[in-house]
Structure 1
Amino acid sequence: MAAKTIAYLTDAHLGQKIILNDETGQMCYAQNEAEHKDKLKFILEDIARNGITEIIFGGDIGTQEANLWFFETVYALNFKLLMVLGNHDTYSQVSQYYKNEYHHELSKEHHHELSNEHHNRHYNKLTKELHYAYEQGHFKFIYLDSSSNAISQVQLNWLRLELDTEKEILLFIHHPVLEISTPLDKIGAALQGREEIKSLLSAQQKEITIFCGHYHMADELIAGNIRQYSSPACSYQIEKLSAKIEIDTLIFGYRTITINDSQINTKVKLFQSV
């Protein structure tokens, strides 16, 4: 596979103005139609200026009303878009505007087969969840749906099938799988059942690289054969090394992933609002 660079961006939170209670550390959103749209447009234009034509979105578009704007804005710049869903996304809403060649809804009968672990490699698409996989060059790309703050049993069964490959794995999921030592991880934001997913990945005799968002911070972790890159948000950042939840509403950014044969190089690009 010829060298190529993909832009990975996540957590746009369009139309959602973050509000932090300094005393409790609890966060909520107030609806504001224009919120973060200028940041996302700036990022997309920067990606286009740098000659990147493929983007992977890591989830959390924002309000339901912002979904159409998001897809129109991305496609207006002629990007090839692949994506996963975040906890602020719903399959029913996103699927009105987004389709890709790798994902198809599964019939009830095939859904039942996966639920009971009677697998068939051709039945790797799940009804009402956006997950899919494909192979390119030295790698297998796997996209998981954690919009429910968990990975369903049906999806786990499908993942076990997809991991049966000689290729190295690039795994895209909204939530981190490896625990990040930060206050946000302790207040209910963590992926439910992540230890089961980690155990499944750790048992593989191959390198697995995870790209995730959700925590609004850049981070890199290694645990055995698993390397995890958490990416900055398009909207606002959450401080990683802090005794309590702290938010930076000025910084925003994205990550580049360059694949050259069997090598992966990734960099974070940050900007500051004026």
Structure 2
Amino acid sequence: MRIALLGDFHYSRMDGGTAEMLEARDAAYKTMLDAFLQTEADLHISLGDLTHGGYPEEFRYVFEQINGSGRSFIHVLGNHDTYSIPKTEILAITGQQRYGAIELDEAKLLFLDSTKEMNRSDWGGELDERQLAWLKEQLEQSGGKPVLVFAHHPVYDTTAHSTKDKLSIHPDIDIQSALRAKQGPAFYFCGHNHINSIVSRDGWHYIQTAACLDHPAFRLIELSGKKLTIGFVTMEDETLSSHIERFNTQVKGFKPTADAQGLEQDRYLQVGL
């Protein structure tokens, strides 16, 4: 099984952007989407903030290209995705589910919705009681099969910056009690904090992925036999960096993150199962 995993994409309609900025934006995002979608994988997954403002036209731009690629694609909601319209409208545009599970022979995949709805003042994460109970039940039922959880927000006090305000699922929400229900290999993939980070603790491996505008790359997850490997594919294009530099500081609400690549151990992981 092979999964291509995209961090925070932040495609923006860029209100007020100059013609030069919009041209650079279009070139950069096309290059990144092409690199991601042309990579062979059983699933292509976005960790949320696929859009920057959560506007219908932003979703339509991205999904027109995704739907035309023929790839099996799953979008996890991010806080920026939910800023402008209700989640029901987002799901109607994208054809996605808010949260759910996929049972495969090799592993169980769980997809969470950790976002608030149309709340620009609080970009932190949450899970309601119904989703928490569902998560715990899914983990209990998985037995010793590897489980891969995909969410936008990190679990508090795991990956880089996850103890800072609004940079995790709120610590008052006891997601850890649900995670402790898992016996066997367990992996939690997230974005939100715009920096690569991998932390292994209490039987779980927490893998956080940087934003594409900071580190134009995506993760590749490969599960083969008794081994799970997580690597990186850099989106190499001689003009990509220069295109990004022409508009990224002008996207309102986006601030480039220093040291987004993290250390070597934050980009690669291999785990025996």
- Report the TM-score, using the length of structure 1 for normalisation: 0.70
Query: Within the alignment, does 1:146 sit opposite 2:122 as a pair?
Result: no
Query: Within the alignment, does 1:158 sit opposite 2:147 as a pair?
Result: no
Match of 1:269 in 2: 233
Distance 1:38 1:211, change over 3 A: farther
- Structure number with the higher helix fraction is 2
Task: Report the Cα distance in structure 2 between the residues aligned to 1:7 and 1:41, rounded to whole angstroms.
Answer: 17
Residue-by-residue CA offset, 1:95-142 (whole Å, 9 max, x unaligned) = 122225xx4xxxxxxxxxxxxxxxxxxxxxxxxxx0101211131111
Instruction: Check the 8 A contact 2:196/2:210 in 1, yes or no.
Output: yes
For 1:70, what is the secondary structure of its paired residue? helix
Instruction: Check the 8 A contact 1:178/1:194 in 2, yes or no.
Output: no
Structure 1: gaps (5+ residues): 18-29, 104-129, 237-250
Query: Within the alignment, does 1:85 sit opposite 2:77 as a pair?
Result: yes
Match of 1:41 in 2: 30
Opposite residue 8 of structure 1, the aligned amino acid is L
Distance 1:38 1:54, change over 3 A: farther
Distance 1:98 1:203, change over 3 A: same
Q: Name the % identity.
A: 25
Task: Report the Cα distance in structure 1 between the residues aligned to 2:172 and 2:28, rounded to whole angstroms.
Answer: 31
Query: Within the alignment, does 1:67 sit opposite 2:59 as a pair?
Result: yes
Structure 2: gaps (5+ residues): 117-124, 243-273
Instruction: Check the 8 A contact 1:13/1:60 in 2, yes or no.
Output: yes
Instruction: Check the 8 A contact 1:55/1:79 in 2, yes or no.
Output: yes
One of 216, 220, 230 as aligned partner of 2:198: 220
Residue-by-residue CA offset, 1:47-70 (whole Å, 9 max, x unaligned) = 344433631011112221301101
Instruction: Quote the offset at 1:81 in angstroms.
Output: 0.6
Match of 2:92 in 1: 96
Instruction: Check the 8 A contact 2:133/2:178 in 1, yes or no.
Output: no
Match of 1:259 in 2: 223
- Report the TM-score, using the length of structure 2 for normalisation: 0.71
RMSD over aligned Cα atoms: 2.5
Task: Report the Cα distance in structure 2 between the residues aligned to 1:270 and 1:144, rounded to whole angstroms.
Answer: 26
Instruction: Quote the offset at 1:263 in angstroms.
Output: 2.3
Distance 1:60 1:47, change over 3 A: closer
Match of 2:259 in 1: none
For 1:96, what is the secondary structure of its paired residue? helix
For 2:31, what is the secondary structure of its paired residue? helix
- Structure number with the higher strand fraction is 1
Match of 1:169 in 2: 147
Distance 1:144 1:36, change over 3 A: farther
Instruction: Quote the offset at 1:36 in angstroms.
Output: 4.8
For 1:60, what is the secondary structure of its paired residue? coil
Task: Select between 162-171 and 141-150 the one with higher mean Cα deviation.
Answer: 162-171
Instruction: Quote the offset at 1:208 in angstroms.
Output: 1.2
Instruction: Quote the offset at 1:183 in angstroms.
Output: 5.2
Residue-by-residue CA offset, 1:153-208 (whole Å, 9 max, x unaligned) = 11101112111222221100001115256557424322213761123213432221
Match of 1:20 in 2: none
Task: Select between 89-98 and 65-74 the one with higher mean Cα deviation.
Answer: 89-98
Distance 1:137 1:263, change over 3 A: farther
Match of 2:256 in 1: none
Task: Report the Cα distance in structure 2 between the residues aligned to 1:16 and 1:96, rounded to whole angstroms.
Answer: 20
For 2:81, what is the secondary structure of its paired residue? coil
Query: Within the alignment, does 1:51 sit opposite 2:15 as a pair?
Result: no
Task: Report the Cα distance in structure 1 between the residues aligned to 2:132 and 2:91, rounded to whole angstroms.
Answer: 21
